[in-house]
């Protein structure tokens, strides 16, 4: 099981944007839709919190510890655009 490091900033962003931290944890641990963001060098996971599609950039270390950076609402169109444009590459 992957260990998640919750930063104060990330918890603040989740609360500010009205997401459910338990759903976010499930996305981080179980979502199979993952990309490398070539612009930032960070890994990105995509999932749904209720009816809202979210994008979560994160970092992973050698021990497989995940540190989410922030969380954004997104759309399938935005993700497809980034994949087609080469910004997102399959992890």
Q: What is the DSSP string of 28-61?
A: HHH---EEEETTT--EEEEEEETTEEEEEEEEE-
| Cα four-point dihedral sign 19, 23, 29, 35 | negative
pLDDT in tens, 5-22: 999 999 999 999 999 999
Asked if 78 and 87 touch (Cβ cutoff 8 Å), the reply is no
Q: Model confidence at 1, in pLDDT bands (50, 70, 90)?
A: low
pLDDT in tens, 19-68: 999 999 999 999 999 999 999 999 999 999 999 999 999 999 988 899 99
Q: Kindly compute the dihedral angle of the four CA atoms of residues 65, 53, 90, 57, in this order, to the nearest 10 degrees.
A: -40
Q: The pTM is what?
A: 0.93
């Amino acid at each position: 099981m992957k260990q998640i490091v919750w930063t104060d900033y990330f918890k603040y962003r989740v609360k500010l944007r009205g997401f459910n931290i338990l759903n976010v944890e499930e996305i981080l641990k179980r979502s199979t839709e993952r990309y490398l963001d070539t612009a930032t060098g960070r890994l990105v996971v995509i999932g749904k919190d209720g009816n809202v599609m979210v994008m979560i950039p994160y970092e992973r270390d050698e021990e497989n510890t995940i540190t989410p950076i922030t969380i954004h609402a997104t759309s399938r169109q935005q993700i497809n655009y980034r994949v087609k444009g080469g910004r997102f590459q399959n992890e």
